[in-house]
């Protein structure tokens, strides 16, 4: 369970880096640039609220099920937000 949590945390960090790069350094229209930055800030906050504590719990060896649950929460919330955005537009 520890190895799976570490892999999910690493993949979550990779996804966050790609998303942060795409939102903070996007060459989009200046009129919508603020929306990109807000999306990047919200995804960074979500990352800090899920992957951060999960990585800490794995590092300390506490609550492996809670750590796995937090690690899985980040990609699941991203998928739900993507589906909501697709349905909204």
Both tokens assigned to 69: 């649950």
Number of neighbours of residue 20 by Cβ within 10 angstroms: 16
User: pLDDT tens digits for 53-72?
Assistant: 999 999 998 888 999 998 99
**52-62: b (≥16 Cβ within 10 Å) or e:** ebbbebbeeee
**How many Å from the N-terminal Cα to the C-terminal Cα in the chain?**
38
C-alpha distances in Å from residue 10, one per residue of 13, 75, 76: 5, 12, 15
Residue 18 has pLDDT above 80, yes or no: yes
Q: Is the pLDDT of residue 29 over 80?
A: no
Summary mean pLDDT of the chain = 87
pLDDT beyond 90 at 87: yes
């Amino acid at each position: 369970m520890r190895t799976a949590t570490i892999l999910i945390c690493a993949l979550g960090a990779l996804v966050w880096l790609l998303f942060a790069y795409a939102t903070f350094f996007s060459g989009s229209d200046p009129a919508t640039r603020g929306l990109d930055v807000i999306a990047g800030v919200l995804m960074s906050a979500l990352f800090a609220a899920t992957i951060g504590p999960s990585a800490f719990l794995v590092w300390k060896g506490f609550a492996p099920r809670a750590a796995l649950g937090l690690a899985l929460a980040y990609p699941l919330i991203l998928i739900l937000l993507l589906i909501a955005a697709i349905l909204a537009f």
